[in-house]
Chain A
Amino acid sequence: MQSNGAEALRAYIRAETSKCMFCGFCEALCPTLYHGPHRGYGPRGRVNLARLIARGEASFTSDVVESMYSCLLCKACHLKCPGGIDIVGVVRATRSLYVLSQEVSA
């Protein structure tokens, strides 16, 4: 997913995450959820936080940033998602949104 500015990123995240059924099947294999402090450290959490961010219903609080940046991008979750969601793509796109919001790469 190449970022063509914040709007394109948001549109991509919205489309991808709207497929989520909240079944949690992705969580079983996620290493960071098992060792992490809450659901935000797992794929179901990351997908749904990304969704809130993309819809403008949440902001990059430290908990949200931690959720996104603690992901290993290991794709174990992809093996189990019945919705076929590109979870890692969503996490990366959300990180890109964060970077844009922080003007780190200006």
Chain B
Amino acid sequence: MSSTASDLKKILGKGKVIDDPAIVKLYSKEPSGMEGEGAIAVVFPESVEDVRRIIRYAYETSTPVYPQGSSTSLAGSAVPFERGIVISMERMKKIHEVNLVDGVAIVDPGIRIDDLNVELARYGYMFPVDPASSSVATVGGAINSGAGGMRGAKYGTMRDWVLGLELVLADEDATLLRVGCKTVKCRQGYDLTRLIVGSEGTLGIVTKATLRITPLPEQVVYILAFYDKLEDLAQTVVDLKASRITPLIAEFMEARTVELAKKLANVEIDAEGHMLLVGVDVYREAAERMLRLLEETARKNNAKKVYKAWSTEEAEEKGLFAIRRNLFTSQVYYTRQRLGKENVHVLIEDIVVPPSRLVEAVKRLDEITRKYGFTLILGGHIGDGNLHPAVGYDPEDEEEKKRVHDWYMEVMKLALELGGSMSAEHGIGVMKKEGLRMEAEALGSPKMLDLMRGIKQVFDPKGILNPGKVV
């Protein structure tokens, strides 16, 4: 046993420290395919005091710590690369308070988003940020990766829903810091709460969060429409905006991707062409009018096929979401077929462009991907301009890995060229550090990185918090 592990066992008690190398490996990996060799032990704090004990020890011994939720990050942000301790927040998963009058929920960082929503649904409320990984992703992880989701166009991302935070700082005393308010309006000098959102565990360990919550919509109506021309699909969204509608979700999938995904989806939907899924939340009385408007707008823009649903349940039943849900899986299956092996990786990009440039972005993405000899799987949140182009590759083929990397860089460049950003919701981690530099330069603001490094230095003078990530 390493002395670090035995020290930690003395400090925390045996049950909260694991140094079995096999179990430690379970905390050294991510779905991005990245894996680190640095972790000596995993610790499982059960209280703020536990976290502070760990941080005091880490500070004293200058041992790096890697906070983790469910490690579903796609950017390499949760992986322990240097020798250090993984802090898994999974045991801190209580809901402390749900306050409907104030519209807030106060929760531990380790609770998973869907589990929180099950509880909130009892009151007819929800936490609206819904990354596709919401069944696994923790609140703490989502805060720290600045996550977004399908409802981004209407509800924004984590930064719009975190009102206040409690965190442990990496200083000598392991200071407990509370920032932000319990109210939406809050002018507490510099906005430190938002600084922590998206900081990827590099500025402090989040131990509690005050989240905004919102009522569940009374009803949501949906259409699923298919188009020959991408322009027509985009125009549908433009027309909806002109009709002063802000959809709850507006998801899009490119035609070839639809073809691949429909094979897996196993639904009776005649899916052909580019796909648009729109859901609008309405009061019951308005449902019929809204559904009619959605269908007419789609048809007017040459949609070939339009499926409708009166509620989320009906949409589920009819399989309206099934094709969209197979976006990621279809790339996996496709790549397995292409390479004739099971062990494949899929790289999911995460760029955002102004919605007005979407059509152009899709065309250019297709060209770029072809140039590198990959098949593009493309879907995204058309409402907010967030695109997730993905390619599959062989992780054991060095040449292919290099090609993927070049593709990745060029996709980020494209986003910048179109006035967008290289990361919409997945974060920087280690995979997009180059991208961040590129973006700072494109904005003519390399100073941005100096400021960030300065902030990091103030928060984490010894550089022990998730080292090597972001900047």
Contacts and interface: CB of A to CB of B under 8 A. Distances in A.
Partners in one complex: yes
B26 A18 contact: no
Given A39-B23, A48-B26, A52-B22, A21 B90 contact: no
Contacts of B72: 23-24
Interface string A28-62: 10000000011110001100110011000111010
Given A23-B133, A24-B31, A38 B23 contact: yes
Contacts of B346: 21
B350 interface: no
Contact of B328 (A24, A59, A82): A82
A15 interface: yes
A52 B23 CA distance: 10
A69 interface: no
A76 B25 CA distance: 24
B18 A49 contact: no
Nearest to B20: A63
A38 B44 contact: yes
A37 B342 contact: no
B342 to A, nearest CB: 5
Interface in B316-349: 326, 328-329, 332, 342-343, 346
A19 B342 contact: yes
Contacts of A48: 25-26, 29
Contact of B18 (A22, A44, A53, A63): A63
A27 B42 CA distance: 19
A106 B345 CA distance: 41
Contact of A23 (B23, B42, B136): B136
B88 interface: yes
Contacts of A57: 22
Contacts of B70: 24, 27
Contacts of B217: none
Given A27-B136, A48-B25, A48-B29, A37 B44 contact: yes
Contacts of B88: 38-39
A28 B22 contact: no
B454 to A, nearest CB: 34
Contacts of A82: 326, 328-329, 332
Nearest to B16: A37
A80 interface: yes
Given A25-B133, A37-B15, A82-B328, A64 B343 contact: no
Nearest to A16: B342
A40 B23 contact: yes
Interface string A1-32: 00000000000000100110111110110000
A49 B346 CA distance: 22
B316 to A, nearest CB: 14
B222 interface: no
A58 B135 contact: no
A99 B136 CA distance: 32
A22 B31 contact: yes
Contacts of B342: 15, 18-19
Contacts of B384: none
Given A21-B31, A38-B88, A63-B20, A49 B26 contact: yes
B171 interface: no
A19 to B, nearest CB: 5
Given A24-B72, A40-B23, A45-B26, 18 more contacts: A18-B343, A22-B30, A23-B72, A23-B133, A24-B31, A24-B133, A25-B136, A27-B135, A28-B136, A37-B15, A38-B23, A45-B23, A49-B22, A49-B26, A61-B22, A63-B18, A64-B23, A82-B329
7 contacts: A22-B71, A25-B136, A28-B112, A39-B90, A40-B23, A63-B22, A82-B326
A60 to B, nearest CB: 9
B114 interface: yes
A83 B344 CA distance: 11
A28 B135 contact: yes
B309 to A, nearest CB: 22
B110 to A, nearest CB: 11
B136 A64 contact: no
B24 to A, nearest CB: 10
A28 B25 contact: no
Contacts of B91: 37
A45 B329 CA distance: 20
A48 to B, nearest CB: 6
B329 A64 contact: no
